[in-house]
Amino acid sequence: MNIKLGNSQIVIERKPPTKTMFSDLIGPLIALFLALLVSAAIIALSGVNPILAYTSMIDGAFGNFRSFAETVVKATPLLLAALGLTISYRTGLVSIGAEGQIVMGGLMATLAGIYFTMLPGFVLIPLVMLAGMLGGGLWGAIPGYLKAKLGVSEVINTIMLNYIAIFFVTYLLDIPLREPPGYFPQSAMIAKQAWLPIMVTGTRFHLGVLFAIIAILVVYFLLWRSPIGYQMRAVGLSQTTAHTSGINVKKNLVLAMGLSGAFAGLAGMVEVAAIHHRLVNSFSSGYGFDAMAVALLGKLHPAGVVIAALFFGALRVGANMMQRTAQVPASLVFVIQGLVILFVLMDALLRQYSIRIVKEDVVHG
Amino acid sequence: MDTQNILEMRNITKKFANVKACNGVTFFVKPGEVHALLGENGAGKTTLMNILYGFYRPDEGEIYLKGQLTDIHSPKDAISLGIGMVHQHFMLVPTLTVAENVILGLTANLKKLDMEKAVEKVQQLSDQFNFQVNAKALVKDLSIGAQQKVELLKAIYRGADILILDEPTAVLTPQEVKELFTILRQFVAMGKSVIFISHKLWEVMQISNRVTVLRQGGFVDVVQTAETTKEVLADMMVGRSVVLEYAKTPVASSEALLALHGVCAEGDLPVSCLNEFSLCIKKGEVVGVAGVDGNGQRELAESIMGLRAVTKGQVCLNGKDITDMPIRKRIKLGMAHIPEDRLKQGLVLDFTVAENMVLDTYDEPPLTCKGIFQPQKMQDIAQELIKEFDVRPPNYDAIVRNFSGGNQQKVILAREFTRSPQFILAVQPTRGLDIGATEFVHRRLLAEKEKGAAVLMISADLDEVLLVSDRVIVMYEGRIMGEFIPGEVLITDIGLMMGGTPQERLGVCE
């Protein structure tokens, strides 16, 4: 690609990517550092000492075991949804639908938790889990199926299904599912034995965190240690080659979206069963969208996704402390998130492309 | 300079990487003539014309237009100098009308645009040439032939004195070809010129006044059409000496391994559909398919591998009907495929060498045991294959995208041949490879043949087909024009068959 600039041109060309362990590790770190540097400037502009802001943020996220547990709790749904997205992105599907899938997963989990109160916990918790994964999975499989059968863009469909899911739940909470006596748009509580137990007293460190840790291994195993994962990655990188060598591309598209949705659904289930214990409006608070950034920042690898999810969790938790101690608006955290994403993407871009400025008369073609 | 020539391209040289696509080519065009530019794939025809149309700048050489030394920087320059080009792939906006397409890009100031007047003018032009195209029709509703007329209209509307047509008949039905020729004759009768790029001999004989022949980027000759014959042109187009020779063992078996019985399949182009195609390949035999690209070779390959639906007829492997068998099952039955486009079909470019090498076997033991994929096994297998096939660099975990073409092809060969296939379909197996890699591919194919595999090699490179095959068939417009043993037929006759003359009519005066 060439961009004209007076009588010079900016020439952007693909180059063989530099790929070493060192650059893989150091690149994102530099990106992170630069993002925090720019954010510091913005914080300073709003009249706050950026060092104070950052220390209070770190303190809020990692200061003691309680705050660290809180970071992990916030990171858990992000991690689960991002692991799901890792599957669909690796299969070459640009899903924007994690949010809707979380919501549907939460809804199904809630229904299971409300209506099967007679079951004991060790049956009910797996059932609620299954319901959540099924809700998210089916919601994800729909755009996968439409993509495979009709070639409809999964980008558009997942966005649309987000709205449908969110407003469907809003409606349900408004009328049929509203708890008696019904002052608030929220459902009845799920059965107490379905609540995910707290693992460490004095914190909100719940069983769902364990689910997330298992999910990390499951996704790694699925993608790199199973023939299905091999197929999905082949489809993601070259549908034509996959098809030529006899891989069923359509089946893999549907399956990847379904699995992707199941993990998002599990995130929704965890939010309901461990945190809210009932379905409330916008219980997901944008986890599904942040998860996209987490998956991409984590380089679509479970290990990277863990780090990115913890980072985003820490930002969310730290933001509150930053607001309280340093009077920096918590929304500034979104600015920091955005800057981090921008810089990390730059790192990826600069590794794949060389950018040169060339005088006009030397340019051929 | 000869004032009779409207265009003189002198000593044009253009290099891509280290390949000379054009090497000192000279090309003169007179006003009022249809000048054919004849040559095989890769002869440099299209490159030369892209230079004239301003897509590329020549590395050496000069272009004189109407006696003036001219520097053409871009297609925009070319158009303003009166050069029009109709590409093989049309450059039209399907959702706009004919008139809108014609005037697209001509006026910068949309406020001054008088659409009604433009429509009228386009319609007038269309009627003048008897195009039978409605200026208000949407392009997407038009047939391919009519869309080509819109491209012609575009060029004529912009005041082209020289019209370049790149393989214009490849996408047309015979009836549409006739219409096109009538239009071209009308156009040159107005004192304008047409440059007609083609590899089809009969067309060139029919439409052109003069012919310039190119071969492998070099200028061969320019002749008056009336003073030459198809045979002479065919000779100039393909005639060249064979460099290499392989020792070939005779075909021992008479057992048919792969057989096609009256196979029909739809074509990417109207002329490339398979029409009652029958063929039989024996164990230990290499059958070569010669022919110019786009004459049904891709359709043949895809029908055999199950990538394209067979609408009629049967494909049999070892006497078993596999016409409707899924691709994967065919592979498991021992069919190997070296696809035409190794980058898009043959490799997952961002997979590692090892991952690419197990694309056919990843889901069976020893690579998958009890449902678990074994990366360690994959590496072991890859390391062995890398050694055996001399893949360089010898890193099993390097990304294939960055490999040279020859080494990429070796990865594919390693993957396909390690399964000891019964049948090998090799499509353009050496396209873009250097001599060393080409020879390597040929020797490996012949080694598989020795082991008893039946090989079908489809290639647009005639030398290669003659060199490697035990038996050659020539394809033209989805049918077999002839069948022969290499060395038993004159190269001229092969050229004629590739250009559409059936074997039984060779030597018959037309």
| One-letter amino acid of A199 | M
Q: Do B345 and A244 count as a contact with CB atoms less than 8 A apart?
A: yes
One domain, residues B384 and B435: no
Q: For residue A226, which residues of chain B lie inside 8 Å, CB to CB?
A: 371-373
Element housing B130 (H / E): none
CA A172 to chain CA centroid, nearest Å: 25
> Measuring CA to CA, which residue among B428, B502, B361, B371 is closest to residue B42?
B428
CB contact under 8 A, A227 and B359: no
pLDDT score recorded for residue A38: 93
**Closest residue by Cα to residue A97 from A274, A257, A230:** A257
Distance CA A351, CA B191 (A): 56
Q: Which residue has the higher pLDDT, B39 or B112?
A: B39
DSSP string, B473-496: EEEETTEEEEEE-TTSS-HHHHHH
**Token pair belonging to B189:** 């009768």
- In the structure, what pLDDT confidence band is assigned to residue A4 with cuts at 50, 70 and 90? low
Tokens standing for B195? 């440059």
The residue whose two tokens read 């000759």 is B221
Q: Is B371 on the interface with A (CB under 8 A)?
A: yes
Please give, rounded to a whole number of angstroms, the shortest distance from the CA of B378 to a CA of chain A.
Answer: 11
State CA B467 to chain mean position distance: 20
Report how far apart, in Å, the C-alpha atoms of B89 and of each of A63, B168, B269, B292, B294 are.
Answer: 64, 10, 12, 17, 13
Burial class (CB in 10 A: 0-12, 13-18, 19+), B250: exposed
| CA A69 – CA A198 distance, rounded (Å) | 11
From the centroid of its chain, how far is CA A363? 43
- Looking at the structure of chain B, the number of domains it has is 3
**Which residues of chain A have a CB within 8 Å of the CB of B402?**
16
Interface mutation target, options B355, B362, B397, chain A, most CBs of A under 10 Å: B362
The helix or strand, by DSSP H or E, that contains position B61, with its residue range, turns out to be strand B60-65
With respect to residue A9, please indicate whether it lies within any of the assigned structural domains. Answer: no
If one counts the domains in chain A, the total is 1
| B345 with A364: Cβ contact below 8 A | no
Q: Which two tokens stand for residue B140?
A: 């997407």
Structural domain including B351 reads 342-418
For residue A1, name the pLDDT band (cuts at 50, 70, 90).
low
pLDDT at site A200: 85
- Mean pLDDT lowest for which of A253-267, B116-130, B294-308? B116-130
Closest chain A residue to the Cα of B343, Cα to Cα: A241
Residue of A nearest to B301 (CA): A244
Asked whether residue A356 carries a pLDDT value surpassing 80, the answer given is no
Question: Does residue B444 belong to any structural domain of this protein?
Answer: yes
Give the distance from residue A355's alpha carbon to the nearest chain B alpha carbon, in angstroms. 19
Out of B418, B441, B459, a domain closes at B418
Using the structure block, give the residue that is written with the tokens 């440099």.
Answer: B44
Closest CA to A61 of A336, A338, A319: A319
Q: What is the DSSP string of B148-184?
A: HHHHHHHHHHTT-SEEEEESTTTT--HHHHHHHHHHH
Q: Are B308 and A202 in contact (CB under 8 A)?
A: no
Optimal mutation site among A225, A245, A247, A251, interface B, most CBs of chain B within 10 A? A245
The verdict on pTM exceeding 0.80 is no
Domain that holds residue A156: 79-305
Candidate from B327, B337, B348 with C-beta closest to A237 = B348
- What are A188-219's pLDDT values in tens digits? 899 899 999 988 888 889 999 999 999 999 99
Q: Cα B350 from chain centroid? A: 27
Residues 165-224 of A with CB under 8 A from B: 224
A222 lies in some domain: yes
B41: CB partners within 8 A, 6+ apart: B199, B292, B293, B460
What average pLDDT score do residues B168-174 get?
75
Lowest mean pLDDT of A21-25, B44-48, B277-281, name the range. Answer: A21-25
On whether residue A162 sits in a domain, the answer given is yes
Question: Is pLDDT above 90 for B241?
Answer: no
Last residue in a domain, options B238, B268, B292:
B238
CB A342 within 8 A of CB A35: yes
Per the prediction, chain B carries an average pLDDT of 88
pLDDT exceeds cutoff 80 at A348: no
CATH code of the domain containing B219: 3.40.50.300
Q: Is the Cβ of B206 closer than 8 Å to some Cβ of chain A?
A: no
Q: How far apart are CA A231 and CA B414, in angstroms?
A: 20
Domain membership of residue A231 (yes or no) is yes
Q: Is the pLDDT of residue A9 over 80?
A: no
Question: Chain A window 232-251: which residues touch B at a Cβ cutoff of 8 Å?
Answer: 233-234, 237-238, 240-248
Q: How far apart are CA B24 and CA B26, in angstroms?
A: 7
- Domain end marker among B207, B238, B269: B238
* For residues B346-357, average pLDDT: 95
Domain assignment of residue B346, yes or no: yes
| Better-predicted residue by pLDDT, B405 or B173 | B405
Is B246 a member of any domain?
A: no
B253 touches chain A (CB under 8 A): no
Per DSSP, B400 falls in state G
Which secondary-structure segment (H or E) carries B262? strand B256-265
Give residue A360's pLDDT: 53
Whose tokens are 């299969």? That residue is A91
Map residue B455 onto helix, strand or coil: strand
Give the confidence band of A363 by pLDDT, cuts at 50, 70, 90. Answer: very low
Q: Which residue of B has its CA nearest to A225?
A: B373
Return residues 248-287 of A near B (CB < 8 Å): 248
More confident residue, A362 or A60: A60
Whether A291 maps to a domain, the answer reads yes
Written as six digits, the tokens of B106 are: 């001509």
> A312 in a domain, yes or no?
no
Residues B232, B328 within the same domain = no
Q: Are strands B454-458 and B423-427 parallel, antiparallel or unpaired?
A: parallel
| Residue among A16, A224, A233 minimizing CB distance to B402 | A16
Q: Examine the pLDDT at A168 and tell me if it is beyond 60.
A: yes
Q: Are residues B276 and B413 in the same domain?
A: no
Chain A hits for B326, CB-CB cut-off 8 Å, are 246
Please state the rounded mean pLDDT for residues B192-196.
Answer: 94
Q: Is A105:A266 a contact under the CB 8 Å cutoff?
A: yes
Domain assignment of residue A358, yes or no: no
The reply to whether B159 and B35 lie within a common domain is yes
Within a domain: residue B50? Answer: yes
B17-45 mean pLDDT:
85
Chain A residues closer than 8 Å to B372 by CB? 225-226
Separation in Å, CA of A90 to nearest CA in chain B: 12
Tell whether B413 and B436 lie within a shared domain. Answer: no
| Residue B195 falls inside a structural domain | yes
**Residue B243 pLDDT > 70, yes or no?**
no
Give just the sign of the alpha carbon dihedral B494, B495, B498, B503: negative
For residue B66, which phi and psi values (nearest 5 degrees)? 50, 40
CA angle B454, B457, B461 (to 5 degrees): 155
* Phi-psi sector, B390: left (phi>0), alpha (psi -120 to 50), beta: left
The residues, ordered by sequence, that sit 6+ positions from B151 with a Cβ below 8 Å of its Cβ are B86, B87, B90, B91, B92
| B490 part of a folded domain | yes
Put simply, the answer to whether A227 touches B360 (Cβ < 8 Å) is no
Average of per-residue pLDDT across B126-155: 87
For residues B280 and B355, state if they share a domain: no
Q: Is B57 on the interface with A (CB under 8 A)?
A: yes
The whole-angstrom separation of Cα A242 and Cα B131 is 44
Q: What does the alpha-carbon distance between residue A363 and residue A8 come to, in Å, rounded to a whole number?
A: 9
Q: Which 8-state DSSP code applies to residue B226?
A: G
Q: How far apart are CA B129 and CA B124, in angstroms?
A: 9
Asked if A226 has any chain B CB less than 8 Å from its own CB, the reply is yes
Average pLDDT over residues A102-126: 95
Please state, in angstroms and rounded to a whole number, the distance separating the CA atoms of residues A178 and B31: 85
Q: Which of A339-343, B204-208, B250-254 has the highest mean pLDDT?
A: B204-208
Residue A108 in this model has a pLDDT that exceeds 80: yes
Mean pLDDT of B161-167: 91
Of A231, A241, A247, the CB nearest to B344: A241
Give me the sign of the Cα torsion angle B116, B117, B118, B123: positive
Sequence-distant (6+) residues with CB within 8 A of B89 are none
CA dihedral A99, A321, A40, A26 (to 10 degrees): -60
Q: How confident is the model at residue B1 (pLDDT cuts 50, 70, 90)?
A: very low
Distance of CA A242 to the CA centre of its chain: 27
B510: confidence class by pLDDT, cuts 50, 70, 90:
very low
Same domain? For B34 and B137 the reply is yes
Residue B264 sits in the same domain as residue B388: no
* B199 contacts chain A (CB < 8 A): no
pLDDT for residue B270 is more than 90: no
**CA-to-CA distance for B463 and B42, rounded, in angstroms?**
13
**Which string of DSSP letters, residue by residue, matches A142-195?**
HHHHHHHHH---HHHHHHHHHHHHHHHHHHHHHTTTBPSS-SSSBBPPPPGGGS
Q: Is B443 on the interface with A (CB under 8 A)?
A: no
Quick one: pLDDT band at residue A352, thresholds 50, 70, 90? confident
CA nearest neighbour of B334 among B342, B343, B322: B322
pLDDT, tens digit, for every residue of B198-218?
Answer: 877 888 999 999 999 998 888
Residues from chain A that touch B352, judged by Cβ atoms under 8 A, are none
How close B66 comes to chain A (CA, Å)?
25
Both tokens of residue B338? 């070296």
Residue of chain A whose Cα is closest to the Cα of B72: A365
In whole angstroms, what is the distance from residue B416 CA to residue B311 CA? 28
Does the interface ipTM go beyond 0.90? no
**Do the Cβ atoms of A312 and A337 come closer than 8 Å?**
yes
Query: Is residue A347 one of the residues assigned to a domain?
Result: no
Q: Is residue B219 located within the same domain as residue B120? A: yes
Contact A238 B373 (CB under 8 A): no
Burial class from Cβ neighbours inside 10 Å (0-12, 13-18, 19+) for residue B426 reads buried
Contact A241 B359 (CB under 8 A): yes
Q: Is the pLDDT of residue B105 over 80?
A: no
Sequence-ordered alpha helix ranges (H) in chain A:
21-45, 50-62, 65-90, 98-115, 121-150, 154-174, 207-224, 227-237, 239-244, 249-270, 287-297, 302-326, 332-352
Which residue of B329, B337, B373 is in closest CB contact with A225?
A: B373
Cis status of the peptide bond prior to A181, with omega within 30 of 0 = yes
The first and second tokens of residue A162, run together, are: 């987000």
The answer to whether B30 and B191 are in contact (CB under 8 A) is: no
Q: What is the pLDDT of residues B427-486, one digit of tens each?
A: 999 887 776 788 899 999 999 999 999 999 999 878 889 889 999 999 998 999 999 999
Same domain, B145 and B183: yes
The whole-number pLDDT of residue B282 equals 94
Predicted pLDDT of residue B114: 81
User: B353 with B310, same domain?
Assistant: no
Q: What band does A322 get if pLDDT is binned at 50, 70 and 90?
A: confident
Same domain, B139 and B232: yes
